[in-house]
Chain A
């Protein structure tokens, strides 16, 4: 266990070193928070009642800002570190290390995500609260559930990313895939609007996919939509399922690697 904590500690240090990048990132998140928030309010200005599919303007604005605040924490995009090790063949030596391959990457990812919670999520939410008066968790319990859901969300996000990285065993060039990937995850995770706004059957599909467990789960716990225990349970089920899928992909990929001689 110590070794994983140590890896995470190193990753945290790496994160803290980029002061300018942190400020720049907060700026970006805020700009997009303002744009998407304004668009959302602009749309709400055109309806008579207050709620659309059970979402009030306050709820929707809060979703926009939570999404911006979690963007870097979840890091759904542009993470192809593992696929790079597959392409260069470095993965073979990673397997030889005396520690768990999965544990190595997972602890690295948590080392990346944990400081982002303090450096990116909290300040972005504060800015959203100042500029758009987003609603805070109604009870301390909801805040706590939110934190748990965020941490589990990181794990789900990591597992999804790992699985897509492992596709590099079979694909030579993943840049096209990366672009499609970025788009689909953005959309299906509820980045631009609540999944509740989707027309059927898209809505049901989105609810049955793991992407909603990354962003929608924390948002729903924050806003008190649905039973937090159920939300957390669904996240955990996804983590287990994805770990199994990853290990299958890894075994097959490894065999392929051996056959091809790296």
Chain B
């Protein structure tokens, strides 16, 4: 009950902040455009690669683009929702984080609404467009099974990416200048999951399959939908184990967040 009220309040804060942002139309549109061009160039890069090479790990251009879009949709939505967490390291450094602790609602929800940014909307729309385009080109059927796979992939993907971003904020409770490590995991994780995960070396992909289960959450649903050969052999268990590993990861991160806030309590700034 308490919990619902806090979520409602969070949504209220977010709405007001979005409304305030929309007022600077010029700069908002420019940012929307600027961010979209980044996604466009990434797609162009993939296309150019496929002009020189016929396939990537046995996957064609359309297949890789579908995987890219699957991952980008989850990542961009997560990135929009987590923006406030980006500000936590700076707030911890300057001591501004204090004020979140003088208020009677969840520190995490306050942190998430520190900055609400709609600038990723352009990228999210582009990713959806790319997804539909690749889906049509590949002539895939939308069955209840594929729908279930897509939904679970996106829900788990969003949760996973938000959890990774949270990890970044958590690290900053202990050390200054840590933001880059987390960028490596979050942006790196999304970059990595945009390509078929079997092209990576064993030790590397193991991390991103079992520890941070992006592989299970994005790669396998796509692989099953595309009906591609499964070089790693986890396809039968992936739909079940992906969500389970995601829940475990999210639980671990929320535990760490608590620890981090407690650490902040005990050290100050």
Direct A/B contact, Cβ within 8 angstroms: yes
18 pairs from A and B in contact (CB 8 Å cutoff):
A24-B178, A24-B180, A27-B181, A28-B184, A32-B184, A34-B200, A39-B195, A42-B57, A43-B53, A177-B30, A177-B34, A179-B38, A180-B34, A180-B37, A183-B34, A193-B45, A193-B49, A197-B48
Nearest Cβ on chain A to B201's Cβ, whole angstroms: 7
Q: Is A141 among interface residues, defined by CB-CB distance under 8 A?
A: no
Q: Would A183 and B27 count as touching, CB distance under 8 A?
A: no
Nearest Cβ on chain A to B63's Cβ, whole angstroms: 13
Q: Is B177 among interface residues, defined by CB-CB distance under 8 A?
A: yes
Nearest Cβ on chain A to B118's Cβ, whole angstroms: 14
Bound CA–CA A31/B188 (angstroms)? 7
Report the nearest B residue to A175, measured CB to CB.
B31
Nearest Cβ on chain B to A183's Cβ, whole angstroms: 5
Report the nearest B residue to A202, measured CB to CB.
B48
Nearest Cβ on chain A to B122's Cβ, whole angstroms: 10
- When each residue 213-229 of chain A gets 1 if its CB lies under 8 Å from chain B and 0 otherwise, what string results? 00000000000000000
Nearest Cβ on chain A to B244's Cβ, whole angstroms: 26
Bound CA–CA A44/B199 (angstroms)? 11
- When each residue 30-53 of chain B gets 1 if its CB lies under 8 Å from chain A and 0 otherwise, what string results? 110111011001001100110111
Q: Is A92 among interface residues, defined by CB-CB distance under 8 A?
A: no
Q: Would B52 and A25 count as touching, CB distance under 8 A?
A: no
Q: Would B201 and A38 count as touching, CB distance under 8 A?
A: yes
- Enumerate chain A interface residues (CB-CB to B < 8 A): 18, 20-21, 24-25, 27-28, 31-32, 34-36, 38-39, 41-47, 52-53, 173, 175-180, 182-184, 186-187, 192-193, 197-199
Extra contacts besides A176-B30, A177-B30 (6): CB < 8 Å: A24-B177, A28-B181, A173-B30, A179-B37, A180-B37, A199-B48
Q: How many residues of chain B are within 8 Å of chain A by beta carbon?
A: 42
Q: Would B57 and A175 count as touching, CB distance under 8 A?
A: no
Q: Is B55 among interface residues, defined by CB-CB distance under 8 A?
A: yes
Nearest Cβ on chain B to A73's Cβ, whole angstroms: 15
- Specify which chain B residues have a CB less than 8 angstroms from the CB of A25 in the assembled complex: 180
- Specify which chain A residues have a CB less than 8 angstroms from the CB of B177 in the assembled complex: 18, 20-21, 24
- Specify which chain A residues have a CB less than 8 angstroms from the CB of B48 in the assembled complex: 193, 197-199
Q: Would A176 and B33 count as touching, CB distance under 8 A?
A: yes
- Specify which chain A residues have a CB less than 8 angstroms from the CB of B179 in the assembled complex: 24
- Specify which chain A residues have a CB less than 8 angstroms from the CB of B29 in the assembled complex: 176
Q: Is B138 among interface residues, defined by CB-CB distance under 8 A?
A: no
Q: Would B53 and A44 count as touching, CB distance under 8 A?
A: yes
Nearest Cβ on chain A to B62's Cβ, whole angstroms: 15
Q: Would A38 and B34 count as touching, CB distance under 8 A?
A: no
Dominant SS among interface residues on chain A: helix
Q: Is B176 among interface residues, defined by CB-CB distance under 8 A?
A: yes
Q: Would A43 and B52 count as touching, CB distance under 8 A?
A: yes
Nearest Cβ on chain B to A156's Cβ, whole angstroms: 21
Q: Is B192 among interface residues, defined by CB-CB distance under 8 A?
A: yes
Bound CA–CA A36/B195 (angstroms)? 10
**A24-B178, A52-B52, A192-B45 are known contacts. Are A175 and B30 too (CB-CB below 8 A)?**
yes
Q: Would B183 and A38 count as touching, CB distance under 8 A?
A: no
Report the nearest A residue to B174, measured CB to CB.
A20
- Specify which chain A residues have a CB less than 8 angstroms from the CB of B175 in the assembled complex: 20
Bound CA–CA A184/B29 (angstroms)? 19
Q: Would B57 and A183 count as touching, CB distance under 8 A?
A: no
**A31-B188, A32-B191 are known contacts. Are A45 and B180 too (CB-CB below 8 A)?**
no
Q: Would A38 and B184 count as touching, CB distance under 8 A?
A: no
**A20-B178, A38-B200 are known contacts. Are A176 and B31 too (CB-CB below 8 A)?**
yes
- Specify which chain A residues have a CB less than 8 angstroms from the CB of B3 in the assembled complex: none
Nearest Cβ on chain B to A201's Cβ, whole angstroms: 13
Bound CA–CA A193/B49 (angstroms)? 8
Q: Would B184 and A27 count as touching, CB distance under 8 A?
A: yes
Nearest Cβ on chain A to B98's Cβ, whole angstroms: 23
- Specify which chain B residues have a CB less than 8 angstroms from the CB of A46 in the assembled complex: 53-58
